[in-house]
Amino acid sequence: MPFISIITVARNNRAGLKRTAASIRDQEFRDFQWIIIDAVSNDGTGDDLEDYPATILCEPDDGPYDGMNKGIDLAIGDYIIFMNSGDQFAQTQTLQKIADAVRYTQPDFIYGDSWETDGRRTAYKTARSYHKASKGMFTHHQSMLYKRSEIRELRYDLSYKIAADYDFTLQFLNKVETSLYLQIPICVFRSGGLSQKNVTLGRNEQFVIRQRHKTTSLPANALTYAMQTVSWGIRAMTPGLYWRLKQRAPQDQDNS
């Protein structure tokens, strides 16, 4: 069975970290390491940290990606998954299903579907193929697992404030050989975070990243940028329609 490291970065999100902790506590699969990187929260989070069964580092940092880099340095698992403060696993059996699927094959990269919630509504988001990474993130970062032995010296580039996870994933995929898509929801992603508050910056950074890594031609990159702009514009203007279209989940999948 694989051993999994769960890395959670937190700053002033006490209630969110409690949700994440409850989700991790309820996992049926227990062969994991939980790492909490807290950027010296001042909202009472520190009062709860000693109650969590986790490796904890509490010190100032240069943002969430800096915290993730610190988490990688502390990880000892076969696989690493980033489950940020406020995010949750989709089911109590999520880690068990992942472990069962890779018991013998041990692929370099694992990814799956996601639930997204704004606290009132929930939408199911089916992952696209990782082969479409040149068009942007193909699933939520919290629904990806990276083999730690293949990460090696790769770290998040702190010059990117929003899209460092996209840059990290592209670089990782470019150097590994095997990937596995699991047709299950892995995370419940809490919308309204940093990336969705800074959509334009994130889109601009993704454009730069694609050019930097030469994942696509300049015209194709420009087209992707334009389509992302239109897509987010439609979502912003008709949020109700977006949530209604996404609320039906595939059969045999739930968000318990």
71-111 pLDDT, tens per residue? Answer: 999 999 999 999 999 999 999 999 999 999 999 999 999 99
4-246 CATH, one of 3.90.550.10, 3.10.129.10, 3.40.50.10860, 1.10.3720.10: 3.90.550.10
**Residues 114, 134: Cα–Cα separation, whole Å:** 20
Task: Read off the pTM.
Answer: 0.91
Q: Where are the domains of the chain?
A: 4-246
123-151 pLDDT, tens per residue? Answer: 899 999 999 999 999 999 999 999 999 99
